[in-house]
A and B are shown apart, each in its own frame.
Chain A
Amino acid sequence: DIQMTQSPSTLSASVGDRVTITCRASQSIDIWLAWYQQKPGKAPNLLIYKASSLESGVPSRFSGSGSGTEFTLTISSLQPDDFATYYCQQYITYHTFGQGTKLEIK
């Protein structure tokens, strides 16, 4: 099974900051990676697919990059609505999620 590891597990930042979350795969997944945002008590919401494609309706401050085994999600200028937990997911072989990164207000 492909394992997905996110870092950091928790990230403290302020409104206006640029933040980056990393996701590493245990083997190459090419570009078959998605990113989701989840707020407490809500279902996850798709942000990015195919490593760098922005889902319709998602603000352009979100961007994704990477291929193979290392990927990043970047938020260029944090907004109050962005404080949430973020998950990566590989979908080259079945589906595996990372353990999540909680983005907190500093």
Chain B
Amino acid sequence: QLQLQESGPGLVKPSETLSLTCTVSGGSISSSSHYWGWIRQPPGKGLEWIGSTYYNGRTLYTSSLESRVAMSADTSKNQFSLKVNSVTAADTAVYYCARHLLLGDNPDYFDAWGQGMLVTVSS
């Protein structure tokens, strides 16, 4: 059974870089049928897609965060990661990693999610 687990610091200082890793078990991130994505949810608010990565290094980012975000995949560890630089309090959120199906040229809906991890930006 596929499982995704987010890990990383739960507290990040303003202006620093938020770094999270998603470890995948029960499946391979080298799958040609899937993309791997990050979604965040500020406390009490809705869901925001941040971006997604493919095993070959292809990445897609939402336009509002593109200048501050980087994602990558490490197939040897079956992990993928997220970095958001120059964080502010507005980046405080629960961060989810998730799997997309890839049925065409671009990733589709999310069919599996990690449990989520709260990251707080505060000094």
Docked-complex contact B113 and A43, CB < 8 angstroms:
yes
Chain B interfacial residues counted at CB < 8 A? 22
Docked-complex contact A91 and B111, CB < 8 angstroms:
no
24 contacts between A and B (CB under 8 A): A1-B63, A34-B108, A34-B110, A36-B47, A36-B110, A43-B96, A43-B98, A43-B114, A43-B115, A44-B113, A49-B109, A87-B46, A89-B109, A89-B110, A91-B107, A91-B109, A94-B106, A95-B49, A95-B52, A95-B62, A97-B46, A97-B49, A99-B46, A100-B46
Question: Which residues on A are within 8 Å of B, measured CB to CB?
Answer: 1, 32, 34, 36, 38, 42-46, 49, 55, 87, 89, 91, 94-100
Closest CB of chain B to A41's CB: distance in Å? Answer: 8
With contact pairs A1-B63, A94-B60, A94-B62 given, residues A44 and B109 touching in the complex (Cβ less than 8 Å): no
Q: How far is the CA of A55 from the CA of B47 in the complex (A)?
A: 20
Question: Which residues on B are within 8 Å of A, measured CB to CB?
Answer: 37, 46-49, 52, 60, 62-63, 96, 98, 100, 106-111, 113-116
